[in-house]
Amino acid sequence: MEVLPEQVWRRRAAEHAAAVEQLTADRLARRVAGLRHPVDDFLWEYYAFRPAQLARWHPGPGVALEGAADRAGWTSYAQAGGTAYLDVPAFLARRGRTVEFVRDLVSATLSRPGRFGCFGLHEWAMVYRAGEEELRLGREGTDAVVESHTITCSHHDAFRFFTPEAAGRNTLSPTREGQRDLEQPGCLHAAMDVYKWCFKLAPAVPSELTLDAFLLARDVRELDMRAAPYDLRELGYAPVRIETAEGKAEYVAAQRGFTTRSNALRRRLLAVLDTLAEDGAREQLAAPGSAQTSW
């Protein structure tokens, strides 16, 4: 186990907190003013991970923090002589099933090629033949775009918000139970979900990885809304007109870039989950039922 001197890890923790503070300042200011941003606030409201939680730095497995007596009582941490570290057996006892699910899901996603023919139509399907919203092409124009395309949404958490009329037009029927069978790296929602899996497995996932996943999710959300049927030009978001050949090409180019970024994050996350599994097995062999240190 690597032991980080106190001045080293406290500097890393402070730098991480400062970066998160800068990224979340607008969100906190809006909360104070009672305002809401339809693009930037999505990650906080949908995924329910607060800025203060994102700002808390964790080193992940295999790293001990010297002089970290102040972490006594932190969930899934253990201490030995003022040195704090992730208590892997305790974490796996609490979140082992989630670790196994995410590990299987991430591995399955990485094993598949990305598909790039959806053009963000999931957002259009969510308002198909629905109420009167501020739509860029109006109601009839929006419905016509849906009707002129083949919808191939593979992500359950997008598909479940389709209107009933749009759900029947999807070529797939994604379910929570079948998520591991359909998830593919070209999906924008799957890219954003890398952030979800990272924070759901805190404090076992290094905070640098979680923050990188947040940055990807934020960029993906912007494309998701720019390619959506809503008119967000007053907020400074130029539309990606996926109803045109040029817009489709722009969308796919961005989608391919996000696939490269999300797969790199998936590999990093999978390495962490593999380390957890190895450390857990090693602890069981060394002292079944205990959480003794091994450094």
Q: For 244-273, what is each residue's pLDDT tens digit?
A: 999 999 999 999 999 999 999 999 999 999
Query: What six digits make up the tokens of 177?
Result: 């139970």
Q: Are 21 and 105 in contact (CB under 8 A)?
A: no
Residues 6+ apart with CB under 8 A from 48: none
By CB atoms closer than 10 A (0-12, 13-18, 19+), residue 284 is middle
Q: What is the pLDDT of residue 295?
A: 37
Q: Please, what are the averages of pLDDT over each run of 10 residues along the chain (295 residues)?
A: 95 97 93 90 89 95 94 92 93 95 96 96 96 86 97 95 96 93 96 97 97 97 96 94 98 98 98 87 55 42
Q: What is the pLDDT of residue 48?
A: 84
Q: For 82-123, what is each residue's pLDDT tens digit?
A: 899 999 999 999 999 999 999 999 999 999 999 999 999 999
Q: What is the pLDDT of residue 280?
A: 64
Q: Chain-centre distance of CA 16, in angstroms?
A: 18
